[in-house]
Chain A
Amino acid sequence: MNANEIILIFLALLSFLIFRVYSAAVSTRSGQNRQFRLIRIKKASFIIQILMGICLILGFYEFLAFLFGWPSTLPERRILVGHEHFYTTAGEIPAEVLWLWVVQKLLAFWGGIMLLRLFWLYGRGILFSAKNVTCIRFFGWWLMIDWFIEYQMRSELRDMDLSTTPLLVGLLVIFAAWIMDEGRKIQEEQELTV
């Protein structure tokens, strides 16, 4: 991560905030109705899909570039493991840590694709389906599994200053997904009731 990626992240936040302000302004003029809300959700999802897609493509290229020594788009390419272990090439990383790092990054890309799928579903107006719940639940599990992989990597490097926040956040996300799933099933059952 470097200043370019920070800029990308802040641009994403800024786009979201601008979209919110624009939508709030339009909604006070047009009145609030179901169709307009869905359009707003679809527009926000579309913007987020674009930004996430760009980040995923750039990130995946940088991952392969680091592994195979390809030219990088970044001015300075370094991998940080823990607080003190910097590596500029894949060859510098100890073998056990390298494999764990590769698994961690591949899992992160899969998580990114699942999030992209989630926002694609929102973009189609599908808000609380079983597929949405699967994506959100995967995000929660990914946070927790990523923490365990990070724990293993830090163990190999004897650098155990690790926060447990991702575990707690992962649990909360899984809980939120479960609540959505139960709420969806309750609503389906109520719709069946005559």
Chain B
Amino acid sequence: MNANEISSRTNARLDRIKKVSKWFRLFLQFGFPFMMLAAVFQGVLTGLQAKPVDLSQGIDGLFIVKAVIFILWGIFALAALLVWYWTSLKLFKFFETGVLFTTETAHCFKIIGFTFFAAILAIIGVYLFNPLPDQPWPNAGAIADISTCVYNGAFWVFLGWLFDEAHKIREEQELTV
């Protein structure tokens, strides 16, 4: 095995990574918004009615407060989804250009993990604004969804941190004479 063979294999691997990343990026860039639009369209078609905003006891009748909180929650949830979407696109673009284990990609992994944590607040909002009549808060469904977000988020953040540390270890090794 000579250096030319090894070099062509490495190039083939990088080319493969770039191609697959490109397809993932295209799916995310065009397919994901299409899926979201289809879900919204389906919701409108099935005639989902918005439930009255129902917050904790003691503030019944404060319609303006409820409406403001609901709008702020909606903006927060949308912002978290957009951050996740934008960061995932950025990550695939890095992979598409052959940038694999750098501080930037590690940073993307961490941000994706933190959006899962942000999703916890969004889930809490969903269950608070749409309480199930026979299930007191916190109900089992909310707990299951929240724990899924915690585990996924922790996994991505840890992976990002690990990539970062490994990248820095390699950099320090390269600097060592």
Across the interface, which residues of A come within 8 angstroms of B20, CB to CB?
175, 178
A16 adjacent to chain B (CB < 8 Å): yes
Q: Which of B7, B10, B138, B162 contacts A6 (CB 8 A)?
A: B138
Check: B1 CB closer than 8 A to any chain A CB: yes
Query: CA A63 – CA B7 in complex, angstroms?
Result: 52
A192 to B9, CA, bound (A): 12
Tell me which of B109, B147, B154 contacts A1 (CB under 8 A).
Answer: B147
Contact of B154 among A16, A41, A166, A194 (CB under 8 A): A16
Cβ distance A175 to chain B, nearest Cβ, rounded Å: 6
Chain A interface mostly helix, strand, loop or mixed? helix
- The B interface is mostly helix, strand or loop, or mixed, namely helix
0/1 per residue, B15-45, Cβ < 8 Å to A?
0110010001000000000010000000000
Query: Which positions 57-104 of chain A face chain B at CB distance < 8 Å?
Result: 78, 80, 83-84, 86
Residue count of chain A within 8 Å CB distance of chain B: 47
B6–A189 CB distance below 8 A: yes
A34/B152 in contact, CB under 8 A? no
Interface flag for A138 (CB, 8 Å): no
Does the CB pair A6–B147 fall under 8 Å?
Answer: yes
Contact call A186/B13, Cβ cutoff below 8 A: yes
A83 in contact with B132 given A13-B154, A193-B7 (CB within 8 Å) = yes
Closest partner residue, chain A, to B176 (CB atom): A34
B128, CB-defined interface residue at 8 Å: no
In this assembly, does A28 line the interface, its C-beta being within 8 Å of a C-beta of chain B? no
Interface residue B159 (Cβ < 8 Å from any Cβ of A): yes
Q: Which of B68-118 contact A (CB under 8 A)?
A: 88, 95, 100-101, 109
- In the assembly, what is the distance between CA of A1 and CA of B148, in Å? 11
Chain B contact residue count (CB 8 A cutoff): 42
The interface residues of chain A lying within 8 Å CB-to-CB of B109 are 176
A41 engages B165 (CB within 8 Å): yes
Chain B residues in the interface with A (C-beta under 8 A): 1, 3, 6-7, 9-10, 13-14, 16-17, 20, 24, 35, 88, 95, 100-101, 109, 132, 138, 140-141, 143-144, 146-148, 150-152, 154-155, 158-159, 161-162, 165-166, 168-169, 172-173
A interface vs B, CB < 8 Å? 1-3, 5-6, 9, 12-13, 16, 20, 32-34, 37-38, 40-41, 44, 48, 78, 80, 83-84, 86, 122, 127-128, 136, 139, 164, 166, 169, 172-173, 175-176, 178-179, 182-183, 185-186, 189-190, 192-194
